[in-house]
Structure 1
Amino acid sequence: MNKNLGILGKKVGMTQIFNEKGEVLRCTVVQAGGVVIGKRTMEKDGYSALIVGLGERKEKHTKKPLLGAYRKSQQTPKRVVRELRVSVEDAAKFEVGQKIGVDQVFEVGQKVDAQGTSRGRGFTGVVRRWNFAGAVQTHGTHEYRRHGGSIGTNMTPGRTLPGLKMPGHYGAETVSALNLKIAKLMPEDDLVLIEGAVPGAKNGIVLVRGAVKKKNAGKKA
């Protein structure tokens, strides 16, 4: 489980910048600005976490039990809420109502993991969904060019095995991109530029945290 500090943000789009060597870096722009609206503690909940909210939500569109929880913590309703498991030391750095700044969490050159929801592509066939090659195009092939072929056997086991790659709903899944690099930080605008592509469509919600497969990637120097 990733317990490194991170930000909850919105994917603005993509751009390019130049580094000190004059090389072009293709970057994804993420708009941060998440606010701590609650905390989990070891004494009360058995684990340590930050509850982060992003974007404002109208009170009339918020259910009353949830609205009461917001008022109890003296916070306004948020459109998106996520819980970030962190260490006790990292949780102590932030108070309820405090905005998580990109410069408080990341530094340029740091490795991060970005998680988002991939673009939904609806019902697709096996060629697009699973990269099947399709059937042969010769020897009288008729109306089977993009079919998946046989899906089972007759006698043994006499059924279609579970998990078989078949047509179906493609996309709209949680996808993580690991070990991306922070290219630039713009704290005044709550922007972070990440080298490479981040999962999700434009204006999608993205969770960016310190990488788990790189040593000390979650620690700010």
Structure 2
Amino acid sequence: MSALWDEWGVRHPVTILQLEQVQVVQIKENQKNIKPPLVAVQVGCSEGKNRFKKPLLGHFDSAGVNPKAKLLEFHITPDAVVPVGTEIRAAHFVPGQYVDVTAPSIGKGFAGVMKRWNFKGLPASHGTSLAHRSAGSTGQNQDPGRVFKGKKMAGRLGGQSATVLNLKVLKIDNVLNLIYIKGSVPGFDNQFVRIRDAIKKHGKKCFPSDCIPPPFPTIIPEIVQTMPRELMAKTGGVDPFIPREV
């Protein structure tokens, strides 16, 4: 994590994400005749350093790309298909747009109910002995005489897929392929994350007014070479440090 200052001098906490050799590996056509038709694009990132099995090596060889450490799929419309081997750059995202970021949350091991489910615990006085962080009763009387499935109890905390919605892209770096996203994202350091356009902001609400339409289906490498290295989102509005009349 780091910080950026906008044109008004306001400090924003940001998370820096890097697109490391992100390429299209496969295009999967719709096989179930779903209307409207959908196409899945398989994207790989980071050069794989581990040993791969022969079927997976053949998969990368047929696509003409180097073995990738991580593969993910994204559903797209038929008019957004890009050729296999196309590299996805940081300029694919527009400064000022909103994205959703998904990654496995940090695993915290076995946790009690107060940490895992925010229980308030038992009373801290009046005879409570060595059970202040207990969950209390978990069942009912003889009817039904059991604990219902899904009861919130102690157990493993974290290590599950988590998504943070509506994060704003404040800046991109076209040379280092960096994306500066406002706020925090799930996962630990060097974690693979999945970035997509915000699904709860439709149409013009997802992108700034001066970048409509966005690069579709993705940015052309020739255009990236002519773009400045860094692009910063503008917040606009009124200077927040000017005193306002009450």
State the TM bucket, normalised to the shorter chain: 0.7 to 0.9
For 2:151, the equivalent position in structure 1 comes to 164
Residue pairs, 1:121-136, within 5 angstroms: 121-136=108-123
Residue pairs, 1:92-107, within 5 angstroms: 94-104=82-92, 106-107=93-94
Query: Deviation at 1:41?
Result: 2.2
Matched, 1:149 2:136: yes
Q: Deviations over 1:143-183 (max 9, x none)?
A: 11011000001212110011100000000011111111111
Which of 122, 127, 146 is the equivalent residue of 1:140? 127
Query: Deviation at 1:26?
Result: 0.4
Q: In structure 2, how many angstroms separate the alpha carbons of the residues matched to 1:220 and 1:177? A: 22
For 1:35, the equivalent position in structure 2 comes to 23
Matched, 1:54 2:45: yes
Q: In structure 2, how many angstroms separate the alpha carbons of the residues matched to 1:124 and 1:17? A: 35
1:50·1:83 contact (CA, 8 Å) conserved in 2?
yes
For 1:185, the equivalent position in structure 2 comes to 172
The AA in structure 1 aligned to 2:23 is: V
Q: Deviations over 1:190-215 (max 9, x none)?
A: 10000011111111111111101112
Q: Deviations over 1:18-72 (max 9, x none)?
A: 10010001001111131111111247997412111111124x7101111111112
The AA in structure 1 aligned to 2:189 is: K
For 1:76, the equivalent position in structure 2 comes to 66
Instruction: Return 5+ residue gaps in structure 1 as ranges.
Output: 1-13
Q: In structure 2, how many angstroms separate the alpha carbons of the residues matched to 1:156 and 1:63? A: 55
1:40·1:47 contact (CA, 8 Å) conserved in 2?
no
Q: In structure 2, how many angstroms separate the alpha carbons of the residues matched to 1:86 and 1:28? A: 26
Where has structure 1 moved over 3 Å in runs of 4 or more? Answer: 42-47
Bigger relative CO (Cα 8 Å, ≥ 6 apart):
1
TM-score for both structures, normalised by structure 2: 0.78
Query: Which structure shows the bigger proportion of residues in strand conformation?
Result: 1
Query: Aligned with 2:193: secondary structure?
Result: strand
The AA in structure 2 aligned to 1:214 is: K
Instruction: Return 5+ residue gaps in structure 2 as ranges.
Output: 208-212, 216-246
Which of 80, 85, 103 is the equivalent residue of 1:90? 80
Query: Deviation at 1:109?
Result: 1.0
Matched residues, percent identical? 36
Aligned-residue CA RMSD (Å): 1.8
The structure number with the bigger radius of gyration is 2
Which of 200, 214, 239 is the equivalent residue of 1:220? 214
2:30·2:40 contact (CA, 8 Å) conserved in 1?
no
The AA in structure 1 aligned to 2:25 is: I
Q: In structure 1, how many angstroms separate the alpha carbons of the residues matched to 2:172 and 2:65? A: 27
Q: In structure 1, how many angstroms separate the alpha carbons of the residues matched to 2:99 and 2:61? A: 34
Q: In structure 2, how many angstroms separate the alpha carbons of the residues matched to 1:44 and 1:50? A: 16
Query: Aligned with 2:131: secondary structure?
Result: coil
TM-score for both structures, normalised by structure 1: 0.87
Q: In terms of mean alpha carbon deviation, does 137-146 or 36-45 score higher? A: 36-45
How many residues were matched structurally?
A: 204
